[in-house]
Structure 1
Amino acid sequence: MISTRLAPLLSLLLSAAIFGFFYAWVCSTMWGLDAADPAVAIQAMQAMNASVRNAVFFPAFFLTPVVLALTSGLLFRDHQRGAATCFGLAAGVYLLGGFGVTVLFNVPMNEALAAVIVPEATETANRIWQDYSGRWQFWNQIRTVASGLAVLLAGAGLLRIR
């Protein structure tokens, strides 16, 4: 059984991992793709989106809300209401703003881009990329902020544990 010592640390680690993943797209990956030839950007994004479904990504993306909620429950059981509330809020914020935004917005956009045959005409590739990149980055910034807030809430919860 997971302990009230290990669960908060694991919660913080998973929250930080997914925040870092989303943050890297904000501050480097998408800027690099936007600077590349649009056909290359489309192909690169298709390859990255196809590769992200793996066992290394799975825990941070899928298990973060589970571990945060489990941590909250364990802490409530141990009468540590303040810490439990922080971890519970972190679970909700990530579930809605990180996981939910990804599933509702970024993934459908990724799937639509995956179906695109990369056009030879630069103007056509540029139009496809510009339409995708701006919208995708908007939703990525939302999930990045939500995930960062989840990290802060988990950290606050960790500090409140007696």
Structure 2
Amino acid sequence: MRFLLFPMSLLSVLLTGAIFGFFFAWVCSTMWGLDQIDPNIAIEAMQAMNASVRNAVFAPAFFGTPVALLLTTVIAWKSGATRSAIWFALAGIIYIAGGLILTMQINVPMNEALGTLATPLAPDEAERVWTNYSDVWQFWNQVRTVASGTALASVGLGLAALPHRRP
């Protein structure tokens, strides 16, 4: 089983990095850009993005990350890489709580509620809806970005703690 430890560690880095990057992109570009345009267009654009994100490219990073982290934890533990196993387990707990569950409990319901709106709305109403949505959504997205970034750092520490073979 030890032969799986390094490849699974790399998969854990890749998936955790992918989900961190996904959340981070919303923080530093997507939402700021949407906040700069007409609120009706921002609502329509967000509805389209929310509809398109449920795909085979996003799913492995979002749903596969905790699975990869769990498997990597088990493999590290059974291989005697206890310090690495602890870091991988911590990464999994952080991501599950601060990324996966948070998203499913807060961001997804907000996205679904926004998706029910028919546009165009009256300009004042669109401004109110978008501002209320964007401010709250961005706060929780920043929380899940920090959580997934912390999980990524934990995976990196787990990788760094892997035992090295001596020549």
Aligned residue for 1:159? 160
Aligned residue for 1:79? 80
Matches within 5 A, 1:34-45: 34-45=35-46
After superposing on structure 2, the runs of 4+ consecutive aligned residues of structure 1 that deviate more than 4 Å are none
Aligned-partner Cα distance in 2 for 1:5–1:127: 50
1:86-134 Cα shifts (integer Å, max 9, x gaps) = 0000000000000011000000000000001123411110011011000
Matches within 5 A, 1:28-107: 28-107=29-108
1:51-104 Cα shifts (integer Å, max 9, x gaps) = 000000010000001101110110000111100000000000000000011000
Give 1:5 shift: 1.4
Q: TM-score, normalised by structure 2?
A: 0.95
Aligned residue for 2:22? 21
| AA aligned opposite 1:146 | A
Query: Please, which runs of 5 or more residues in structure 1 have no aligned partner?
Result: none
Matches within 5 A, 1:69-148: 69-148=70-149
Aligned-partner Cα distance in 2 for 1:7–1:149: 19
1:9 and 2:27 correspond: no
| AA aligned opposite 1:57 | F
Aligned-partner Cα distance in 2 for 1:129–1:147: 26
Q: TM-score, normalised by structure 1?
A: 0.98
Give 1:138 shift: 0.7
Query: Please, which runs of 5 or more residues in structure 2 have no aligned partner?
Result: none
Identity rate, percent:
56
